[in-house]
Amino acid sequence: MESVGALLPFVLILLAFYMLIIRPARKRQGAASRLQDSLHVGQEVMTTSGMYAEIVGIDDDAVVLETSPGVRARWAKPAVARILTESETDTASPTDTETDTDTAVGSDPQDTAHTSAVDPDGKRPE
């Protein structure tokens, strides 16, 4: 009877380890596997790095994503973090009419002043 009492803390630690570490990890792994199996062409997705794209092709272990018209890249299936819903796809990618050209890099005249040539004296031309 004493040997059972000595093993009880060890068994409780193993049980807690299983419940807190192993079981949730298996659930996450199963959810990721189901997500990868449910991918199909035409879906809007977000990658683990936060890139929004549309699936235009699927291989055994990779997907081809189109981020902009004509811009395609091949990604590993596990890089797809989630499939976007209709409401998320409307806010994820701005349309051409919503693009603000004033905020584009290099469109501000002050931005070009920082990249202007420097005189041999070390002074900027004014």
What CATH number does residue 75 fall under? 2.30.30
Asked whether residue 66 is assigned to any structural domain, the reply reads: yes
Q: What is the pLDDT along the chain (126 residues), one digit of tens a residue?
A: 677 788 999 999 999 999 999 999 999 999 999 999 999 999 999 999 999 999 999 998 999 999 999 999 999 999 999 999 887 766 655 544 444 444 445 545 454 444 445 555 555 555
Give the pairing of strands 52-58 and 44-47. antiparallel
Are 28 and 53 members of one domain?
A: no
- The torsion angle over the Cα atoms of residues 50, 53, 54 and 55, rounded to 10 degrees, is -60
Are 76 and 86 members of one domain?
A: yes
Are 47 and 32 members of one domain?
A: no
Are 44 and 32 members of one domain?
A: no
Domain tally, the chain? 2
β-pair partners for 47: 80
Residue ranges making up the domain that contains 1: 1-38
